[in-house]
Amino acid sequence: MKPTPDKYSLIIIGGGIVGLSTAITWSKNRDSSQYPVLLLEKQPIVGGMVTSFKRKGFIFDTAQLVPDPLELFKYLEIDCELIKFKNYFSRIFLVNGNNATEIRIPSGYNEFREMLLDRYPSQKKSINRFFDYSKKMFDELQYLKLEPTLFDLLFILFKCPKTVFNSGRTFSEYFRKFGFSDPELSEIFDVFAAFSGLPSERAVAMMTVAAMNTSLLGPWRPTKGFIHLPHAMKRKALDLGCEIRTRANVKQIVVENGIATGVRLETGEFIKSDTIVTTIDTKTALFNLIGRDVLHEINPKYTEKADQVNMSPSSMIISLGLDDYIDLDSLGLNCGYNVITTGKGTFERLFKAFDNGEYILDDKCFHTAVICPSLITGGKPVIIIRVVPMPIGNWKLLRETDYSLYTKKKEEVADFYIKQIERYLIPDLSKHIIVRDIASPATFERYSGSPSGSNYDMSPYPDNFGLKRLPTRTPVKGLFQPKFSHGIWPSMQAGIQVVDMILGGEIMNGYSRYREKIPAPVIRD
Ligand SMILES: Cc1cc2nc3c(=O)[nH]c(=O)nc-3n(C[C@H](O)[C@H](O)[C@H](O)COP(=O)(O)OP(=O)(O)OC[C@H]3O[C@@H](n4cnc5c(N)ncnc54)[C@H](O)[C@@H]3O)c2cc1C
């Protein structure tokens, strides 16, 4: 056994995808025998929100797809076999009374454009302008930096005019610029905004454009289930010499005179390090593990900014194990997401209820995504129903105080959505169900430790995005919080970004997006 160092060069709090990516990136760039790194995870296994579970022989996953993963998997040297979704990236079912109009979104940016041109010839000019402009704006991302200098900012102004111009715009404001007149098109793009976690009236334009660009490249999933992803990442981190301790619940980030000096575990053990990366819920880390007063004394502005951060919503996940007498393939389920929505501002209405801690069960106002992983990876037939947004509300309290009411309420939500899916997508679905497992926001609160059960960390509102985002470098010297998340791909990016920041830009010159070919550093005289 390796001797335990008196002091670590880096401590990482949390063993989800961000924590594991941070651990691998550090160990790839520093010899861990000289610069020891320790990852602390409070659960018995790593992975956080990316996990799998078994019910009566059926295997279910929490996460469902990873968009555009290959470059990052290669950099992080993750040995986990992936399989690409076939056919469509998604199918959208726009509900209109008892019928639904089906719109098939192919994988690939150009394929999507072609499909739209074909379906909406009268919108040709707007479609072409939108796609050309959005592609250029997405490409500008490669020049953005996390901590730009004044010189970088001037360079960005010159090199990234579209990003700068649209930085304060929501996706719906952005979309209106292109003069679309067919309402069905805004319904389609509203679904893309929903993939970025917010309605188009709220999501910052760049987030939706980026989600669209990366997702359309084709979604993938681990062949043997999502739990194999964090396991493979853990193996890599261990191979590279990183130390990982599970069942290690961090209770305090110790700060002396504005400087991080180490962490204290629930057991009372103190572990020293001058550099700490927290990958757990940001507000919990800042306000509970450090303390609001301590942070406020160091930097009131940062504290207020952290206070104002809106966390992304939680969800309800209904996992169904089905019998063999259902032909999901013939129903077209061999694709990415199948979105069923009542459209016409539905997602915004659901969010208004969410803002008040409520949810709506109304067959004139619902939005859900159905996915069928077993058709991609094989195995017993399963389908997953995602219901977003779902507030934490009193789910946690109910779970702890009245389990039978908690179960009853979950069943009510599941029954409602199964009914809608039977109506528009899978006739007689309920007759084929053998197992049903319903995860509530209280489940995700347990997986991640986030009090809101948030699935995607901070919400991408325009006032917390890009340069306005809560900075990764906290005002506590030596403490970093790279959490912005929004899925597995951004979580991996976040891990690489934060190590790059700690190492003074050694890996990607301070750019915010890892690419195999990082743009050359800006030359300064
Ligand atoms: C139901 C669901 C479906 C999703 N589907 C997709 C999808 O299809 N595609 C996609 O890209 N993304 C998806 N996501 C989002 C994706 O899973 C997350 O963005 C990503 O996993 C976040 O990783 P993380 O490391 O930031 O956080 P987490 O996974 O929350 O990891 C944080 C870790 O910190 C640990 N921790 C917390 N407190 C402490 C403490 N005090 N001490 C020590 N350890 C602590 C937790 O136990 C946890 O392991 C989904 C999320 C959910 C919940």
The answer to whether residue 513 sits within a structural domain is no
Same domain, 405 and 485: no
Same domain, 203 and 256: no
Same domain, 365 and 446: yes
The answer to whether residue 509 sits within a structural domain is no
Same domain, 324 and 447: yes
The answer to whether residue 516 sits within a structural domain is no
283 lines ligand 1 (CB under 6 A): no
DSSP 127-148: HHHHHHHHHHHHHHGGG-BSS-
163 lines ligand 1 (CB under 6 A): no
The predicted pLDDT at position 525 comes to: 38
221 lines ligand 1 (CB under 6 A): no
Q: Rounded distance, CA 32 to CA 327, Å? A: 51
CB under 8 Å to 324, separation ≥6 — which residues?
380, 381
Residue 16 lies in domain: 7-57+226-310+457-502
The answer to whether residue 249 sits within a structural domain is yes
What's the structural domain count of the chain? 3
The CATH number of residue 365's host domain is 3.90.660
Q: Rounded distance, CA 130 to CA 373, Å? A: 32
Nearest CA to ligand 1 atom 26: 18
43 lines ligand 1 (CB under 6 A): yes
66 lines ligand 1 (CB under 6 A): yes
The answer to whether residue 19 sits within a structural domain is yes
Same domain, 318 and 443: yes
Q: Rounded distance, CA 10 to CA 503, Å? A: 11
CB under 8 Å to 32, separation ≥6 — which residues?
26, 240, 241, 242, 243
Nearest CA to ligand 1 atom 9: 65
- Counting from 1 in the atom list of ligand 1, the atom nearest the Cα of 439 is 1
Nearest CA to ligand 1 atom 15: 487
Nearest to 371 by CA among 52, 63, 17: 63
- Ligand 1: distance of its center to the CA of 50 in Å? 6
The predicted pLDDT at position 336 comes to: 87
Domain boundary residue, one of 179, 195, 215:
215
437 lines ligand 1 (CB under 6 A): no
- Counting from 1 in the atom list of ligand 1, the atom nearest the Cα of 289 is 41
Same domain, 381 and 489: no
The answer to whether residue 38 sits within a structural domain is yes
The predicted pLDDT at position 37 comes to: 98
Q: Rounded distance, CA 495 to CA 497, Å? A: 6
Q: Which of 24, 45, 50 best tests ligand 1's pocket when mutated (most atoms within 8 Å of CB)?
A: 50
Q: Rounded distance, CA 445 to CA 449, Å? A: 5
The answer to whether residue 519 sits within a structural domain is no
Q: Rounded distance, CA 161 to CA 140, Å? A: 8
> For residue 234, what is the enclosing H or E element?
helix 228-239
- Ligand 1: distance of its center to the CA of 119 in Å? 38
Same domain, 290 and 175: no
Q: What is the mean pLDDT of each run of 10 residues along the chain (525 residues)?
A: 86 98 98 97 97 93 89 95 86 94 92 96 98 95 93 95 96 96 93 86 93 82 94 98 98 98 98 98 97 98 96 96 95 92 95 96 96 90 96 95 97 98 97 97 94 93 91 98 89 96 95 78 46
Q: Rounded distance, CA 60 to CA 321, Å? A: 9
519 preceded by a cis bond (ω within 30 of 0):
no
Same domain, 470 and 388: no
The predicted pLDDT at position 524 comes to: 42
The predicted pLDDT at position 52 comes to: 94
Domain boundary residue, one of 418, 435, 455:
455
Same domain, 326 and 404: yes
Q: 426-460 burial by CB neighbour count: b if 16+ within 10 A, else e?
A: beebeebebbbbbbbbbbbbebbbbebbbbbbbbb
- Counting from 1 in the atom list of ligand 1, the atom nearest the Cα of 67 is 11
The predicted pLDDT at position 520 comes to: 59
Same domain, 291 and 355: no
DSSP structural state of residue 509: T
458 lines ligand 1 (CB under 6 A): no
The predicted pLDDT at position 1 comes to: 60
250 lines ligand 1 (CB under 6 A): yes
The answer to whether residue 40 sits within a structural domain is yes
Same domain, 410 and 450: yes
The predicted pLDDT at position 518 comes to: 64
Same domain, 204 and 327: no
The CATH number of residue 306's host domain is 3.50.50.60
